Amino acid sequence: MSKALVLLAEGVEEMEVVIVIDVLRRAGVEVIGAATGEGLEVTASRGVRIVADAGLKDLSADGFDALIIPGGANGARRLAADARVLDLVRAFVRQNKWVAAVCAGPLVLDAAGVLSGIRMTCHPSVRQGFKNACNDRVVEDGRFITSQGPGTSMEFALAIARRLCGDRIADTVASGLILLATVS
């Protein structure tokens, strides 16, 4: 079973967290939401409270196959300012593991210095700072998966599921969510 780590900070975009965790769990991925603050409860960008599974201080890249960085401008800025998060991003990259970021989440990858030469996408509000950014909804380049925002979260989550679990499982999840046309 694949295992993914989703980073949670105050101000994170709730749709990008909940959709990704839900889709990956439907695909059979063990997902751990890790709070970067003192407690396990995080208040997201629209006031939704999310309870993390663990604190980041208790975790490392070991045992995980993917790192997922949600956006939300304030959440992404908090993650990008956290030295532990930047070290974790670099560890995932060094270990050739999947690294995925959505919306403003690529700001964290940029702060970690791992985006050189990587084709990516992000929310239009932060795109001007990236040389290799494009306007695609989801972009995969090497072991990086990036996406634009809340409205692309399903596609983003399914792209991660496809890499961690394979096409058949990702298609089964998409079909169950009524995202793929079914044959009658």
Interval 101-146: pLDDT, tens: 999 999 999 999 999 999 999 999 999 989 999 999 999 999 999 9
Integer Cα distance of 53 and 36 in angstroms? 11
Q: Please report whether residue 105 resides in a domain.
A: yes
Q: Which residues, listed in sequence order, are joined to residue 181 by a DSSP beta bridge?
A: none
Other CB atoms within a 10 A radius of the CB of residue 8 amount to: 27
- Give the active site residue among 103, 122, 134, 165: 103
**Residue 137 is part of a domain; what is its CATH number?**
3.40.50.880
Based on the residue annotation, tell me whether 134 is a catalytic residue of this protein.
no
Q: Which domain holds residue 65?
A: 3-176
Mean per-residue pLDDT, 18-35: 98
Is 0.85 surpassed by the pTM of this model? Answer: yes
Q: Report the domain count for the chain.
A: 1
Q: Please report whether residue 183 resides in a domain.
A: no
